[in-house]
């Protein structure tokens, strides 16, 4: 079994909890509270900004032209394509995308970004890949699950969102990242493997908590009185 197959298997409990989460199920049913979508897009815009910076740090640790190209292409994909699912959500709630940008992060999104940033700043390329991989992998599987279960047509309110994540481009991103990590893991110590496993599991757990953050409109205690940009 490859290293990433092992990671997937060991974290199947979390993947299943993600598929069952009411926000995710709500995408399939075409029924999510507008306030939850707004909370999600506000946090996710900032999450994607952080994700691109982490790709930049991974790029800096790359040792081949091929890997540099991979991270460069992925930054470009987030900048130019990953905005479409956000637009789908914004259109549904009737709110302009710009008004959801530049907000401070709720606790879980803040935690997730700092978790990835920790491994990017202090860890190896393997650790960064371990922390990043659940992002495309969980969304790819969500897209496929929803496509299969609900078989949305073009008039489904979240058709664009579901189609985007069930698409071969997100599948290629996931598979390429898996290949990078599998190749990297062929020559590492048991200790480093454990650190990668820990980074991967925490990112899976934070993916689940991110949906819950949006669904429950999570806030910092006593927030709303003071707007501090982090």
- What's the closest the beta carbon of residue 114 comes to ligand VIB, in angstroms? 14
Which of residues 74 and 178 has its CB atom nearest to ligand VIB in the complex?
74
Which of residues 2 and 172 has its CB atom nearest to ligand VIB in the complex?
172
Which of 3, 15, 70, 139 touches ligand VIB (CB under 6 A)? 139
205-224 residues in contact with ligand VIB (CB under 6 A) are: 207, 210
51-80 residues in contact with ligand VIB (CB under 6 A) are: 51, 74, 77-78
- What's the closest the beta carbon of residue 221 comes to ligand VIB, in angstroms? 22
How far is residue 80 from each of residues 69, 120, 174, measured CA to CA in Å? 16, 23, 18
Which of residues 79 and 194 has its CB atom nearest to ligand VIB in the complex?
79
Asked whether 180 and 129 are in contact (CB, 8 A), the reply is yes
Distance CA 176, CA 62 (A): 14
In sequence order, the 6+-apart residues with CB closer than 8 A to the CB of 44 are 86, 109
Q: Does residue number 82 form part of the binding site for ligand VIB (CB under 6 A)?
A: yes
- Using CB atoms within 10 A of its CB, is residue 102 exposed (0-12), middle (13-18) or buried (19+)? exposed
In order, the DSSP letters of 126-192 are HHHHHHHTHHHHHHHHHHHHHHHHH---TTSTTHHHHHHHTSHHHHHHHHHHHHHHHHHHTT--HHH
Which of residues 44 and 145 has its CB atom nearest to ligand VIB in the complex?
44
- What's the closest the beta carbon of residue 206 comes to ligand VIB, in angstroms? 8
Q: Does residue number 44 form part of the binding site for ligand VIB (CB under 6 A)?
A: yes
Question: Pattern 161-200, binding to ligand VIB, x per CB under 6 A?
Answer: ---------x--x---------------------------
Q: Does residue number 136 form part of the binding site for ligand VIB (CB under 6 A)?
A: yes
Q: Does residue number 135 form part of the binding site for ligand VIB (CB under 6 A)?
A: yes
Distance CA 84, CA 102 (A): 18
Nearest 5 degrees, angle CA 55-CA 7-CA 132? 15
84-123 residues in contact with ligand VIB (CB under 6 A) are: none
Task: Point out which residues bind ligand VIB (CB under 6 A).
Answer: 44, 47-48, 51, 74, 77-78, 82, 135-136, 139, 170, 173, 207, 210
């Amino acid at each position: 079994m490859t290293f990433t197959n092992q990671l997937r298997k060991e974290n199947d409990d979390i993947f299943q909890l993600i598929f069952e989460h009411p926000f995710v199920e709500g995408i399939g049913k075409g029924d999510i509270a507008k306030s939850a979508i707004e909370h999600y897009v506000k946090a996710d815009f900032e999450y994607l900004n952080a994700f691109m910076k982490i790709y930049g740090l991974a790029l800096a640790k790359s040792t081949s032209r091929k890997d540099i190209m991979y991270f460069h292409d992925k930054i470009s994909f987030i900048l130019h394509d990953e905005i479409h699912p956000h637009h789908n959500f914004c259109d549904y709630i009737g709110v302009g995308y710009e008004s959801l940008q530049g907000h401070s992060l709720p606790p879980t999104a803040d935690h997730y970004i700092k978790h990835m940033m920790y491994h990017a700043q202090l860890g190896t390329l393997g650790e960064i890949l371990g922390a990043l991989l659940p992002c495309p992998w969980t969304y790819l599987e969500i897209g496929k699950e929803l496509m299969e279960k609900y078989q949305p047509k073009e008039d489904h309110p979240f058709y664009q969102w579901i189609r985007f994540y069930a698409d071969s481009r997100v599948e290629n991103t996931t598979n390429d990242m898996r290949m990078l990590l599998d190749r990297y893991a062929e020559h590492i110590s048991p200790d480093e493997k454990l650190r990668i496993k820990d980074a991967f599991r925490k990112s899976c757990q934070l993916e689940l908590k991110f949906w819950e953050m949006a669904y429950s409109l999570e806030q910092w205690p006593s927030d709303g009185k003071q707007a501090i940009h982090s």
